[in-house]
Structure 1
Amino acid sequence: MSAAGWFIVLLALVGANLPFLNQRLFGVMPLKATKKSAWLRLGELIVLYFIVGALGFMLEARAGNRFDQGWQFYAITFSLFIVLAFPGFTFQYLVKRR
């Protein structure tokens, strides 16, 4: 696998966990509420999926061999993105804090 492929996998791992590891919107903008809601985290996760996908598409096009994808590709990559978010979800919702 090329360096660009590993870069996208690493970026997907970071992007999938970003909504769960902080209380800021996209890790940058502070919110007025002290804690983000689960719906806001889910919305962030979906937006970050599209951002990582667009970067992957750009890298693929830059390499010169862009391929058309069907709905199956997007269903599988979104499922993989959800699986990559499991460590952040576990840290946010399943780890007990004192």
Structure 2
Amino acid sequence: MDTNVAAWLVIAVAIAAANLPFFTEGVFGFIPLKPAPGSAEPRPKPFWARLAELVVLYFVVGGLARVLEGQLGDVFPQTSANMFYPITACLFLVLAFPGFVLRYLRKHRH
């Protein structure tokens, strides 16, 4: 796989993964939540569950990036002196912003 293709693949997967928690009501997009007692409809996913999904998906995308980097050559070592993880975590949150806006900040007209 070409380096360019691998980089764009990681970016595309990161955009999709960062927005997934905000566009679906199921956990990770396919596990439905149990309905509230006395209701037939599934309850909406709470914000803390969306945040937990976001953290898990951050590590999934990071794992994919590490695997692709390993296939292309040597994996660059991440030490505590560099700011790789805080920067990528902030970037992942920025990529999640469109989903957050559509879920929580946009007016929902019924």
Report TM bin, short chain: over 0.9
Return the match for 1:57 from 63, 66, 80. Answer: 66
Q: Percent identity?
A: 49
| Deviations 1:17-74 (CA, angstroms, capped at 9, x unpaired) | 0000010000010111410111000000000000000000000001112101134100
| Partner in structure 2 of residue 86 of structure 1 | 97
Aligned length in residues: 98
AA paired with 1:74? Y
Distance 2:23 2:79 in 1: 32
TM-score normalised by the chain length of structure 2: 0.85
Structure with the larger helix share: 1
Superposition deviation, residue 78 in structure 1: 0.3
Distance 2:53 2:46 in 1: 11
Distance 1:36 1:30 in 2: 9
Unaligned runs of 5+ in 2: 36-42
| Partner in structure 1 of residue 10 of structure 2 | 8
| Partner in structure 2 of residue 48 of structure 1 | 57
TM-score normalised by the chain length of structure 1: 0.95
Unaligned runs of 5+ in 1: none
| Larger Rg over CA atoms | 2
Q: Which has the higher contact order (CA 8 A, sep 6+)?
A: 1
Distance 2:34 2:102 in 1: 22
| Partner in structure 2 of residue 77 of structure 1 | 88
Query: Structure 1 runs of 4+ off > 6 angstroms?
Result: none
| Partner in structure 1 of residue 22 of structure 2 | 20
